[in-house]
Amino acid sequence: MRPELRGVGLADPPSRWASLGFSIRDSAADVGGMRVHLGEPGTGIVSWQLTGIDPTSDIDGLPTQVVASEPVAPLTHENGAVGIDHVVVTTTDFDRTAAALELAGMPVRRTVTTPKGTRMAFRRLGPAILELVEVADAPPGPARFWGLVVVVADLEALAARLDDRLGSIRDAVQPGRRIAPLRDSAGLGQAVAFMTPELR
């Protein structure tokens, strides 16, 4: 069985995500085969749920739950959300975190270095991509969940709906796609951005 990302646990209250146009069921927003669990103890993204790896509670500091591979019933969201594109993890020790991911059965598949020398690595985990980002100037410590990117069918319509809670739409790194970040005024505990679907 291939490793897959099946969900993330967030400390955000369900009402905060409902105000952004997500449909909530059992304190969770089911988006494109992934379950976003809301109201979890802690701050920001507090855990992730994976299938297809050996049982573990921690991957280089990332709280981890290994779950059964069960289908997630789809929900229709008023904001047009259709999937989670990627989850971002940051690390002060890129090689250490990459090795921990490999030991857990999730070796990174593609690594790039930005013009500023920052290393980034990617691995598809079923419905979403893991993006690992090196943060060299931060104090030493374990890897951390940083944020996630939600795919929406109509980014311009979402911008009109959220008004000043959504930042400016700009070209994404992925060719032909566009992205806009939520501003702090949205009141979420982690970085969240919205993105147009993949080109077909």
- Summarised one tens digit per residue, pLDDT across range 47-88 is 999 999 999 999 999 999 999 877 777 789 999 999 999 999
Domain membership of residue 66 (yes or no) is yes
The pLDDT assigned to 200 comes to 72
- What pLDDT digit, counting tens, does each position of 132-144 carry? 999 988 888 999 9
The pLDDT assigned to 72 comes to 77
Domain membership of residue 120 (yes or no) is yes
Contact at 8 Å (CB) between 101 and 62?
A: no
Contact at 8 Å (CB) between 52 and 70?
A: no
First to last CA, the chain: 27
Tell whether pTM > 0.85.
yes
CA atoms 154, 156, 161, 165: torsion sign:
positive
Domain membership of residue 200 (yes or no) is no
Domain membership of residue 58 (yes or no) is yes
**CB atoms near residue 68 (< 10 Å):** 7
Task: For residues 162-187, give the mean pLDDT.
Answer: 94
Q: What is the CATH number of the domain that holds 189?
A: 3.10.180.10
Contact at 8 Å (CB) between 106 and 143?
A: no
Domain assignment of residue 75, given as a range: 4-195
Q: How many domains does the chain have?
A: 1
The pLDDT assigned to 21 comes to 97
Domain membership of residue 102 (yes or no) is yes
